[in-house]
Chains A and B, each alone.
Chain A
Amino acid sequence: MRPVASSRQQVLGRIRAACCGGQNPAATAEEAAERYERLPRDYRTRGKSTVRACQELFIERLREYDAEVVECAPEELGAMIAAQLEASGRHMFVAPPGLPAGWLVPAAWQISDFEWNIDHNLPADEIERAQGVVTGCFCGVADSGTIVLHHSATEGRRVITLLPDWYLCVVRASQIVETLPEYFDRCDQPPALVTWISGPSATADIEMTRIKGVHGPRFLNVIVVNDREQGTGIRE
């Protein structure tokens, strides 16, 4: 039986021969990094819309995916969450451990009691029993209606936004950017875990007919919190 090391040597050896046999001599990591920095990039790296237009685009794109989207002021968030939960007709929710406590307090007028299961490493079948999930997010990309999760404490482990059928995501307006490159710009360093969500799960595998919700939540609700000054000027 061949030792594992030899496959590695073989493959790397072939690659080096292929790249360096002809033109350029073997690049070091530093040389490669230098060349990389010099690559021309003429594509759009920033959007041109106003803050308000960008937010509206984000909402429009989400609605195109049949997501339910509402806006609210920061002080209204708790009540808005409660209203959304109420309207869902569901009772058992899972939430990430870092979700602000104020988000989970039932409103005075509320009819139902909600059962909150905070995800302190819950086993999968318990999460499976939850009917819905509420989280925050890292960023929203307006161009494609994408919600980006880095799975921090307010966003939760990946499984909790996957198993329940109903997902409520709170997006602060200040988290919304217009273009995908702007999201990458916001990452001080690359995250270890990312989930980019652009609509409910879907398939078009049967006769190109788009069906929602194969696996993963079929219902996506978004609350956009107007947490910044709504200027009409172009963003800086």
Chain B
Amino acid sequence: MAPAFPVKNGENERIRKKQGRGLPMTNQGLGTGAQTPQRKSPLIVHILLAQVAVVLCCLLTWYLCENVVKKQYSDATYRTELEMVDNNYNAMGYLKGENGKLAALQYDKISDVITKKPFYQEIVDEMGLLHAEELKAGRPLGEQDLTAGRLMERVTWGYDEADETGRTITIDVTYSDPAEAEEIGNRLAEKLNEILTDKSKLPGPPINQPNRIEHAGLIREPVRTGPNTLLWVIIAGIVAEGVFLTMAYQTGWKNKLTCIIMGFANLSRGQVLRGLLFFLFEVVAVGYMAFWGVGWLQKLPTLGTVKTEHYALKAGGQEVVTYGDDSFKILLYGVLTIFFIGAIIYTYYQNVKQGRLAAKIEAAGKKLKSGREDLRSLVDDQFHKTLLALPVTGITVFTVMPIIFMVLVAFTNYSGTFDGKENLFTWVGLDNFNQLLTWTAGGSGNKTFMATFGEILAWTLIWAFFATFTNYFLGMFVAMAINKKGIKLKKLWRTILVMTIAIPQFISLLYVSKMFDKNGIINSFLQNMGWIKDPIEFFGDVNNPWLSRITVIVINIWIGIPYLMLITTGILMNIPADLYESARIDGANPWQQYTRITLPYMLFVTGPYLLTSFTGNMNNFNVIYLLTGGAPTKLGAYSAGGVSAGQTDLLITWLFNITQGGEHLYYQASVVGILVFLVVALITLLVYSRLPSNKNEEDFQ
């Protein structure tokens, strides 16, 4: 492991000098007239020392968890809330008792303090019975913390800024003992209740009619979960093991120290920029993991335990909500934290690697890259890193993260009911996938999930096939017609078709769908001509789903031909003309020329396009959703939270309806999404490798 390269004497002396000052981990065995940087003591000693350090780290973590951190979680938090409504019903007061001492007493206007002092005094006196010394500090009430900023934070609703009718009072109190907190809270609530019932005690002065207290009472904040000592000790153990083992394998005190202080190896050798970046990363990483990261990881297995509670206040009966855990956030930040851990490990590896590299370069007597050179390389040798930074970050955050999250959702019961806030959601294992195994319905007459999925999948594949190939062949036909020799105004015909590409699909599709409506233009026209008596329900006939399906495919031709015409025109022109010439001399008719020359060439060149077009059509949300919205709705179809599948629904529109309508069955949508991915991936995998035009991309260069 130890790199064997010569080191200048000066460097070695520096090592010895520093060793003399006594570095805890590395001073054993080093420093007795060493000529090479090779380890002076056997590796095993370093490893054993590392184990000692690991044990110490675990013990320290255990001590900190049990004796320092847990204390902060032991106090239950209580709040006393009081809401006042003035004569306009648009203002509130807010009395808050939390955690012990009287921290602040706020009024929104000085005049209120003067006019209502007796009233507030009464309340504060009540609290003051327990905290007399605080109140006797001599400061007049209401003159502390009169900052507007804090005030507005407290007034969360109902405060009308314009006419300044808000009346706000906030008292922060700290209790060291839960029992005491409860007692104060209850006494306060009683006092407020008394004021509520005795109107004469209401604060004045009345303008039109007296202000009144709407409600008051004690709110118990949900108990926060303290750190799980075992988890912390395990994590500390793993981290320490990694760090100290890495350290044991490094040589030279700079490189050893860089295992604890990231970037030190670079920093101490004058590579300030690199060193500082590593060090900054370490600060952020340790800070995040200690204060938030491990907390999220700890909750990840359960997705939260503290429930949200609704209850009425003691006086006035106002319903109050105290929010507990949020499963959604736990899952999200849990996944983020795992990602971040990956990033930490990678950066740490780079840190150690950079340290070794720097030592090697230094030992070889070469100059290390300066920060300026590092920056310059970002627009030169390493320019691709600069260019990719933004796109790759965007894709990671907005595509990779959501996909991982949604795949995980398939293993939970996340839905509109179990939204993670009002009702926590949790892991359900493979329950959501078990429904894929049942084909026959349980007797209610509705189809099972799998049966409906199968039917929609079948239609999706039929749709994708016809949508792709009708467009392809008809588009090619139109392109060939326009390309034909002797046809004039080629540009005009093309322009007319191309123009329709520009018009947003939602306009054209919505309009066309209305044209085919029961009382749309098409039906009116057919009726006026006397060809039909009753209007044809193109998209609404439950008994005739194929009418809707064929109509959709036909309209899709209207959408797709211009695009295909454009694509094929260019390629058709590229077919060597002498191929046709010799075919003609051999006596081939136009049909033979088409099947023997044009088509094989086209299929060869557009193979990949056909594949992407097929999968694109499988997920063609716009055409189906804007034209039919999935109608006609299938009777007796599996209904996912009140959203039944329509007969023109593709998997993708079904998925959309599941997430939108009824009960928002996100887990169901997630299962559908995963299945869609599997189907599309399977098709891509099977077809792509067989494409004749699957060329080596370097060929283009």
| A complexed with B | no
Binding site for A on B (CB under 8 A): none
Binding site for B on A (CB under 8 A): none
